[in-house]
Structure 1
Amino acid sequence: METNHQHITSSLSFLQSCINSRLADYFKQEHATAFSYPEWQPDGNDSAFSDFLSLYQPNNEERIILMLALMPHVQPNFLDAIIQQYLPDGGDFQEIGGVKGTNHRGTLPTGETALFVLAGNDISKRLQATSYFSGEHFFAKNHILSLEQVKEGEPRMSGRILLEPEYIDLFTTGTVSPPAFSPDFPARPVTTAMEWSDLVINTKTANQINDIKVWLLHNGTFMRDWQMDKRIKPGFRTLFYGPSGTGKTLTATLLGKEFKKSVYRIDLSQIVSKYIGETEKNLEKVFNKAENKDWILFFDEADALFGKRSNVQSAHDKYANQEVSYLLQRVEDFPGLIILASNYKSNIDQAFVRRFNSIIHFPMPNAEERYALWQTALPVKAPLEPGADLQNIALRYDLSGAAITNVIQYASLQTIYRNSPTISVNDILEGIRREYEKEERVFVK
């Protein structure tokens, strides 16, 4: 795609003409005509910005608000330079709104700025224009822009017009940077270099995973073309349960890889709070950021958030149960794929279990599956020493896929350390012993 600058430049010219027309009308300058929207001719260039305009088809008023939000990021003195033409000696011009930032020295547009440009002093039109900042408008529904929250008692429209960071990136660079891990977004992207062939699971589990693939492929047709969006809740909710190391996280990342969707693992240590209401606030930040982004949200060790509600015996129990109720509603409303992972299905509150589209068990691999895992995990550069019976090792030692990978890593590093051409069975067995020791299991050589 070509850069956005030509399309943004023409849109800024459109905004400048609108502001000049409004100011000329307001100050009743000589030869000034009644305010009207200038003709805007879109450029034919293909860009992320033009794609956005084609998708949402904003009207003149929506375009003005969008450009007011973007303007400080591309031309910091834009608003001040225009106002100076009408107030050459300076002075406060309250009608146009705007505030000063902490670091930014220019005027930052507010909701009042938008109302002035759109409606001047026409009260009826000003009231109508506030609808562009309502929760029902596509600006809010698609998390494109919003008004900054103001202190209690101050006019709502005095809040700055805030363009979401991903749209700032999209309009200025043509690409969207992934959100950085922070208290405002306590989630990290997870990726893998592995392929589906590296995931060794039983047939029943594989078939259930295929059901998720079918949803990812055909949900759009089912909801829109078949007009089922009025009857079926959006999104897909699934529970992966089973022992650690059996492929739950790998499956989530492989789904993202196959369908070119970002997978974010929620950091529950940053979400769960002992303070009443804070857990919900922290989780809401994740859902707000992920809304309409086509991401996969992965809650590992989900028991911490979605565990069973208790009988109400104290105020703490009451608020804990309210927290689960909030989570239940928020998960149901999310339009994308949510994957919860837990070691035990019984740890998850039944209210969530009833609402899962699928519940998939990831059991410990059997001997045949362990043998396949051993074969898959072995490095290409160093084979096993002659006479090694890998099938017997797989039969004797009950290990998860992650544990087998750990064993291979240990044995391979020992092989490199000794400068040996082959991996010894003794190193394999020592690695297994260490894995058994981690789990406080008895190892028999």
Structure 2
Amino acid sequence: MFFKRKDIAATPEKALQEPGSGSFVSASMDALLKVATARLDHCFGKTETFVQPAFDIIDDDTPLARYVVDNNLSIEEYLVLMLALSPHVHPDLFTSLIRRYMPQGGDFPEFGGVKGTNYRGIIPTGETALFLLAGMNTDLRMQYAVWLRGQDQHDRLNGVKPSIFRKGIVTLEDMREGEPEMSGRLQVSQARLSEFLTGKKWRPTFGSGFPATLLDTDMEWKDVVISRQTEKELKMIRDWLQFHPRIEQDGNLGRRTKPGYRALFYGPPGTGKTLTASLLGKQFGLDVYRIDLSLVVSKYIGETEKNLQQIFDRAEDWILFFDEADALFGKRTNVQSAHDRFANQEVSYLLQKIEEHPGLVILATNFRNNMDQAFLRRFQAVVPFNPPSEQESLQLWNNTMPADIPWNADISLQDFARKYELTGASILNIVQSASIRALAEDRPIAAKDLLEGIQQEYYKNGKSV
């Protein structure tokens, strides 16, 4: 039978002890040992029946304690989470315990566990979790095996929802064909492991194994100049980021809506697509990762899917930003060769992963028409980023001109906004180069400095002033 939450402590009123009486993690390791001892006593005939031991949870306000308490984890979830964490906390929690029951040594496969490459203690597996939760009761082990897989269709098994599995906090290692599924190791996601044990947010580093870069900005929403239509679409995205947990918890909508939110940003370079993605993350405290498609897409069959899987496997509540997405999401080709067929399979695979991602996914492109219409139907929001109008351009000039570096009073920003078609990124480049030129010559910024910067920007874009 499933444990009840009231059984956590010997006396319910002491289930959450005050800080100072110990630490949450040490008390949790003691709890694991108590349950393992009770199971071994029953298995080796020292007790006629298994008696669930009482133990205390010590709320020391650490991230791990806060997660367990605030999410009201069931006893099963609590024990499995601590079991998966145990190799990272204790050099070897169970070896000496098992040796008490088998002083002559030998294998005890009922307990499960494997050895690591360098770690010589017992790394808990699905079998270890089954032993702690069900002992050798075959029927109960089969029920818990379903639960450990985290399969949604079994979420309502005895009223318990395995959120730690569904949210990817704990996973059961995939085994090779022919190996028992429950012999896979219990693994805690790298992000949660860092948060639980160090209190710090884990951020993967960019490289061939993780082709994504963390986006950050010191700018604020007031620095962004966008049209009313763009603002309207962005408001819907902000509202989703704020309220989507309510939607997912709704008894009717939660079953009918797909997880996550998908948006397309389209418009010329420099119009604020990347900055907007960064600001969305900043506003809601979410990391934003820009995916480098040049490192994702591979000419070798299967490598593109593998590279994408590395990103989605590590992604938690991130915002994923695919820049220049038409490189991969462009109009699908007619299948004329094996290469075309595999290219279309890569796109289909990525669309599947995007639709499964529970967070916000943003695809950015310079040209909306380059995107396949079949893809566009899958987006909840299509957000235009158009070149600024004259009034918007003037606002950008006013926002960008330096506050502390002097500039001549005869400079007419209105004239620049009226005469020249420039994006926000181009205006920033112009003002920056003009400021450097003026500082180098120890004088205020002059109109000629800005004009020279405008000429450079026009030249880069193949235009003349």
TM-score normalised by structure 1 residue count:
0.90
Q: Is the 8 A contact 1:4 1:47 kept in 2?
A: no
Whether 1:425 and 2:447 are equivalent positions in the alignment is: yes
CA, structure 1 residues 148+232, in 2 after alignment: closer, same or farther (shift >3 Å)?
closer
Per-residue displacement from partner, 1:69-127 (whole Å, max 9, x unpaired)?
11111111211121222233433333323222122122212222223333443333332
Q: Which residue of structure 2 aligns with residue 264 of structure 1?
A: 289
For 2:33, the aligned partner's letter is Q
Q: Which residue of structure 2 aligns with residue 396 of structure 1?
A: 419
Whether 1:126 and 2:151 are equivalent positions in the alignment is: no
Q: For residues 432-443 of structure 1, what are the structure 2 equivalents within 5 Å?
A: 432-443=454-465
Question: Which sits farther off after the overlay, 61-70 or 177-186?
Answer: 177-186
- Choose which of 97, 111, 127 in structure 2 pairs with 1:96: 111
CA, structure 1 residues 5+161, in 2 after alignment: closer, same or farther (shift >3 Å)?
farther
Question: Which sits farther off after the overlay, 318-327 or 190-199?
Answer: 318-327
Q: Which residue of structure 2 aligns with residue 28 of structure 1?
A: 45
Cα distance in 2, alignment partners of residues 111 and 225 from structure 1: 32
1:2 is displaced (CA, Å) by 6.9
Cα distance in 2, alignment partners of residues 4 and 277 from structure 1: 53
Whether 1:7 and 2:29 are equivalent positions in the alignment is: no
For 2:325, the aligned partner's letter is A
Q: Which residue of structure 1 aligns with residue 308 of structure 2?
A: 283
CA, structure 1 residues 310+5, in 2 after alignment: closer, same or farther (shift >3 Å)?
farther
1:406 is displaced (CA, Å) by 0.7
Q: Is the 8 A contact 1:3 1:174 kept in 2?
A: no
3-state SS of paired residue (1:105): coil
Per-residue displacement from partner, 1:293-316 (whole Å, max 9, x unpaired)?
2x3221111112211111111112
- Choose which of 302, 315, 318 in structure 1 pairs with 2:338: 315
Whether 1:43 and 2:66 are equivalent positions in the alignment is: no
Q: Which residue of structure 2 aligns with residue 191 of structure 1?
A: 216
Q: Is the 8 A contact 1:143 1:164 kept in 2?
A: yes
For 1:178, the aligned partner's letter is R
1:44 is displaced (CA, Å) by 4.4
Cα distance in 2, alignment partners of residues 226 and 112 from structure 1: 34
Per-residue displacement from partner, 1:122-159 (whole Å, max 9, x unpaired)?
33333233123213143321102122233333222222
Point out where structure 1 has 5 or more consecutive residues left out of the alignment: none
- Choose which of 427, 430, 434 in structure 2 pairs with 1:411: 434
1:387 is displaced (CA, Å) by 2.0
Q: For residues 104-253 of structure 1, what are the structure 2 equivalents within 5 Å?
A: 104-136=119-151, 137-222=162-247, 224-225=249-250, 227-253=252-278
Q: Which residue of structure 1 aligns with residue 7 of structure 2?
A: none
Whether 1:306 and 2:329 are equivalent positions in the alignment is: yes
Cα distance in 2, alignment partners of residues 24 and 221 from structure 1: 45
Q: Which residue of structure 1 aligns with residue 15 of structure 2?
A: none
Cα distance in 1, alignment partners of residues 193 and 437 from structure 2: 50
For 2:91, the aligned partner's letter is P
Question: Which sits farther off after the overlay, 405-414 or 156-165?
Answer: 156-165
Per-residue displacement from partner, 1:384-420 (whole Å, max 9, x unpaired)?
2242233222222222110111111111111121122
3-state SS of paired residue (1:99): coil
Cα distance in 1, alignment partners of residues 350 and 20 from structure 2: 41
Q: Which residue of structure 1 aligns with residue 364 of structure 2?
A: 341
3-state SS of paired residue (2:80): helix
3-state SS of paired residue (1:244): coil
Q: Is the 8 A contact 1:4 1:174 kept in 2?
A: no
Cα distance in 1, alignment partners of residues 249 and 80 from structure 2: 30
Q: Is the 8 A contact 2:19 2:58 kept in 1?
A: no
Q: Is the 8 A contact 1:242 1:344 kept in 2?
A: yes
3-state SS of paired residue (2:403): coil
Q: Percent identity?
A: 46
Cα distance in 1, alignment partners of residues 45 and 245 from structure 2: 53
Q: Number of matched residues?
A: 438
Q: Is the 8 A contact 1:5 1:172 kept in 2?
A: no
1:55 is displaced (CA, Å) by 4.5
Q: Which residue of structure 2 aligns with residue 73 of structure 1?
A: 88
CA, structure 1 residues 224+436, in 2 after alignment: closer, same or farther (shift >3 Å)?
same
Cα distance in 2, alignment partners of residues 361 and 150 from structure 1: 45
Per-residue displacement from partner, 1:326-357 (whole Å, max 9, x unpaired)?
33333233332221110000111111112222
For 1:172, the aligned partner's letter is L
Question: Which sits farther off after the overlay, 182-191 or 271-280?
Answer: 182-191
Q: Is the 8 A contact 2:393 2:417 kept in 1?
A: yes
For 2:40, the aligned partner's letter is L
For 1:10, the aligned partner's letter is A
Point out where structure 2 has 5 or more consecutive residues left out of the alignment: 1-17, 152-161
Q: Is the 8 A contact 2:149 2:172 kept in 1?
A: no
3-state SS of paired residue (2:254): coil
Q: Is the 8 A contact 1:406 1:431 kept in 2?
A: yes
Q: Which residue of structure 1 aligns with residue 156 of structure 2?
A: none
1:7 is displaced (CA, Å) by 1.8
Cα distance in 1, alignment partners of residues 183 and 86 from structure 2: 17
Pairwise CA RMSD of aligned residues? 2.5
3-state SS of paired residue (1:102): coil
